[in-house]
Amino acid sequence: MARMVWRRFLYHKPAVVSLAALAVLLLAAILAPLLSPHGPNQIDLDRQLALPSWEHPLGTDHLGRDLLARLLYGGRVSLLIGLLAMAFATSFGTLVGALAGYYGGWVDSLLMRLTDVFLCFPGLFVLIILSLALRQLPIPALRGTALASILAIALVIALLAWMTVAKLVRASFLSLRHQDFVEAARAAGVTNARIIWRHILPNAISPVIIASTFRVATAIITESGLSYLGFGVQPPTPTWGNMLKNAQEHMLQTGTNGPWAAILPGLMIFVTVVAINFVGDGLRDALDPHKGQGANPPTQSN
Amino acid sequence: MTRYLIRRSLQAVPALLLVSLCVFLMIELGPMDPLAMYEDNPNVSPEDLLRLEERLGLGQPVHIRYGKWLLNLLRGDWGTSNVTWRPAILEITDRLPNTLYLMTASLVATLALAIPLGIVSALKQYSALDYVATAFALMWRSIPIFWFGLLLIIVFHATLKNPFTGNPLFPGAGMYDIRDKGMPGYNAILDYAHHLALPLTMLTLHSAARYMRFMRSSMLEVIHQDYVRTARAKGLSERWVIYRHALKNAAIPLTTIIALDLPMLFGGALYTETMFSWPGMGRLFLQSAERVDYAVLMAIVMINAALIIFFQLAADVAYAYLDPRIRFS
């Protein structure tokens, strides 16, 4: 099965190129300390908005911090938040959808009402209020660290992103729960938890994988958007979003590195998101599920 | 149908209550104090602060305050802004026209661009135009809108200059020119259009890409249906087949998407308004969030949520009306 999917994935050329590009981006983010001689928060007030040079290959920002270092470290944060938000949203959505679809009845009505309530939250507005509320996770060990802020933002994004997955999983469970193989497992005395986890879920997972892939891209855009508005990861921790915010005030200073400091972080977001969306397309074609809800990337806010 | 509408409307009430409770608690959880902005002001004495606190009811427990907010709302009172001390609803009605102006212009431009493009690229599938249009749609699926806005400003405001005056080619902020307004020779229509150009481009390309993709795939689906082949077989002109038989059916799913997008006319565009200092709802929301202006935040979120629920229902009804195959259960 896996081999067949992989072979079909290889037919989708943009997806293959994108997967390679993502691997490079991920590697660069992981190896950031080795690739960059400067720290991301190393301030050099004598070299503000400096144009590219041997010492600073991409120039510096308005505080004289090395732009390459900040792009690499920012990539760590942005990719990490994208993956974490996806993981949170997918696990919670799968749990809700599986319980609702498997048990039906009042469990289903209750959980689906909950999902509907979340679907009528005005997305970006509530994200901003939530990010104020959860700026720091109440975990004493992490207090004041960048990780606390990263986890908080990932959680905030996930809280408003699990509903699509829940609906997808519920629909699959509804159609699978009375199939013969499930009845057989039940007759053999298999527990409900094991039927959900081992018998039904593997048959319902394809649309979830596709939706989750697109979800990573949306989460990265949402994170950069929140950080751009000043409600995301707090400085000095670099993310592609708050680098854009910082650069905006200086981007009109032509003749300096100002415009590039505003262009490059966005280019990184764009390349990453394009690549993830193409991988999503490739997976969709390879797994060939029923086209429908969740088969396309969710829309961005404006 | 009537029973379905009544049931759905009744379901909206607990949903809205839950939304309001959640959002109220979220604002409550936030670390910031609505009175923080007064604490550093030497003209505000500690007694004044206490009086303000009492007037806002900040000393009371959260469930009492939520109850009061809800009761006031049932009487039609959205509360008072704790920044300007005006009724919250006035803050909103002040900004709403600016947002309506921007968002309506963008919706009209989006439809004017996306529908013809989607139709043509479906009818001429795999033509050069189809490839260009599809590539555009795929790119804008992934382009962060706030970055595209920055690029627009860098190119059309900072780099390109008007060859006659030497000013930036397009203004990068605001709705009109404050200095020129009311001066002799001032042309309001031109000035407003000039200021609208960049934010409109930013919003329109973004949503046109999505609508175009949608129109294209729904048109492609329809033109391979049997009834379209039948219409052709009857000898109808190609024009008649496309516009009377295919387009009418392909447009049905599009109405749903448009209906679901309509709440944005009220909510505005957070990124676009921030980037171009547009005095609309999006900016009002951000300013209220920064200053923890409870009443305004709650009003914006709740009106938005109500509109979302209303237009979800409207989309369903429109779909059933346009497509007689759909029946409510």
Q: Considering CB atoms only, which of B27, B150, B206 is closest to A262?
A: B150
The verdict on a CB contact (< 8 Å) between B308 and A122 is: yes
* Helix axes A105-119 and A163-176, enclosed angle (nearest 10): 150
Q: Is the pLDDT of residue A50 over 50?
A: yes
φ, ψ dihedrals at B168, nearest 5°: -55, 145
- Residue B53, min C-alpha distance to chain A (Å): 21
Q: Which domain holds residue B140?
A: 92-322
**Residue A130: its chain B contacts at CB < 8 A?**
26
3-state helix/strand/coil string of chain A: CHHHHHHHHHHCHHHHHHHHHHHHHHHHHHCHHHHCCCCCCCCCCCCCCCCCCCCCCCCECCCCCEHHHHHHHHHHHHHHHHHHHHHHHHHHHHHHHHHHHHHCHHHHHHHHHHHHHHHCCCHHHHHHHHHHHCCCCCCHHHCCCHHHHHHHHHHHHHHCCCHHHHHHHHHHHHHHCCCHHHHHHHHCCCCHHHHHHHHHHHHHHHHHHHHHHHHHHHHHHHHHHHHHHCCCCCCCCCCHHHHHHHHHCCCCCCCCCHHHHHHHHHHHHHHHHHHHHHHHHHHHHHHCCCCCCCCCCCCCCC
Domain coverage including residue A253: 59-295
Q: How far is CA B45 from the centre of its chain?
A: 42
B210/B290 same-domain check: yes
Contact pairs from chain A to chain B, CB under 8 Å = 137
Integer Cα distance of A257 and A53 in angstroms: 11
Contact A274 B142 (CB under 8 A): yes
Count the domains in chain A. Answer: 1
Residues of B within 8 A of A128 (CB-CB) are 270, 285-286, 289
Query: pLDDT tens-digit profile of A162-178?
Result: 999 999 999 999 989 88
What pLDDT is attached to residue A226?
93
Could you tell me if B281 and B135 lie in one domain?
Answer: yes
Amino acid at B210: R
Chain A touched by B154 (CB under 8 Å): yes
Cβ A277–B146 below 8 Å, yes or no? no
- Whether A40 maps to a domain, the answer reads no
Q: Are A72 and A35 in contact (CB under 8 A)?
A: yes
Same domain, B25 and B168: no
pLDDT at residue A294 tops 70: no
CA distance B226 to B109: 33
Decide if A8 is inside a domain: no
Give the Cα separation of A165 and A215 in Å (integer).
10
Supply B286's token pair.
């951000």
| C-alpha–C-alpha distance, residues A35 and A224, integer Å | 23
**Is B79 among the domain residues?**
no
Q: Are residues B184 and B130 in the same domain?
A: yes
| Residue B11 near residue B289 (C-beta atoms within 8 A) | no
The region of weakest confidence among A67-76, A292-301, B135-144, B213-222 is A292-301
Domain check: are B171 and B208 in the same one? yes
B273 part of a folded domain: yes
Q: Residue B155 sits in a domain of what CATH number?
A: 1.10.3720.10
Q: Please confirm whether the linkage preceding B253 is cis (ω < 30° from 0).
A: no
Task: Answer whether residue B60 is part of any domain.
Answer: yes
Q: What local confidence, expressed as pLDDT, does residue B152 receive?
A: 93
Number of domains in chain B: 2
Query: Residues of B with CB below 8 A from A124's CB?
Result: 270
CA angle A54, A59, A65 (to 5 degrees): 110
Q: Is the pLDDT of residue A295 over 50?
A: yes
Query: Quick one: CA dihedral A87, A208, A127, B278, positive or negative?
Result: positive
Spatial separation of the C-alpha atoms in residues B59 and A115, rounded to whole Å: 34
Residues B186 and B303 in one domain: yes
Instruction: Indicate whether B154 belongs to any domain.
Output: yes
Residue A12 forms part of a structural domain: no
Is A175 domain-assigned?
yes
CA atoms within 13 A on the CB side of A87: 8
Chain A residues in contact with B203 by the CB 8 A cut-off are 302
CA atoms within 13 A on the CB side of B194: 16
Residues B254, B178 share a domain: yes
Kindly give, in sequence order, each residue whose CB lies less than 8 Å from that of residue A49, ignoring residues fewer than 6 positions away: A59, A60, A61, A62, A250, A253, A256, A257, A258, A261
CA distance readout (Å), A40 to A43, A249, A270: 9, 20, 21
Q: Which residue has the higher pLDDT, B48 or A100?
A: A100
All residues of chain A having their beta carbon less than 8 Å from the beta carbon of residue B145 are 300-302
Contacts of B324 (CB under 8 A, 6+ apart): none
φ and ψ at B282, to 5 degrees?
Answer: -60, -45
Whether the Cβ atoms of residue A80 and residue A174 lie closer than 8 Å to each other: no
Whole-angstrom distance, CA of residue A168 vs CA of residue A225: 26
In a domain, A21, yes or no: no
Which position has the higher pLDDT, A57 or A246? A246
pLDDT value at position B37? 67
Partners of residue B170 in chain A, C-beta under 8 Å = none
- Indicate the residue of B154, B264, B297 with minimum beta-carbon distance to A259: B154
Q: What pLDDT score was predicted for residue A292?
A: 46
Cβ pair B302, B290 in contact under 8 A:
no
User: Are B133 and B233 in the same domain?
Assistant: yes
Of B29, B274, B304, the CB nearest to A229: B274
Does position A293 have pLDDT exceeding 70, yes or no?
no
Residue B265, by phi and psi: left (phi above 0), alpha (psi -120 to 50) or beta? alpha
Cβ neighbours of A247 (radius 10 Å) = 24
Q: Could you give the CA distance from residue A128 to residue B304 in angstroms, rounded to a whole number?
A: 15
List the 279-318 stretch of B: residues with Cβ below 8 A of A. Answer: 285-286, 289, 297, 300-301, 304-305, 308-309, 312
Torsion (CA) B292, A299, B114, B206 in degrees, nearest 10: 50
- Residues in B closer than 8 angstroms to A133, CB to CB, are 26-30
Q: Tell whether the model's pLDDT for residue A185 goes beyond 70.
A: yes
Q: Does residue B155 share a domain with residue B30? A: no
Query: What residues does B80 pair with on adjacent strands?
Result: B87
Flag if B158 and A259 touch (Cβ within 8 Å).
Answer: yes
Is a pLDDT exceeding 70 seen at residue A200? yes
Q: Residue with structure tokens 């229509």? A: B189
Residue A133 falls inside a structural domain: yes
Residues B20 and B123 placed together within one structural domain of the fold: no
> How many angstroms away from the CA of A264 is the closest CA of chain B?
10
ipTM confidence:
0.88
- Domain for residue B49, yes or no? yes
In which residue ranges of chain B is pLDDT below 70? 31-34, 37, 180-182, 328-329
Torsion over CA: A80, A81, A82, A85 (sign): positive
- State whether B57 and B112 are in the same domain: no
Residues B293, B203 share a domain: yes
**Which CATH number covers residue A160?**
1.10.3720.10
**What interhelical angle do A123-133 and A201-229 show, nearest 10?**
80
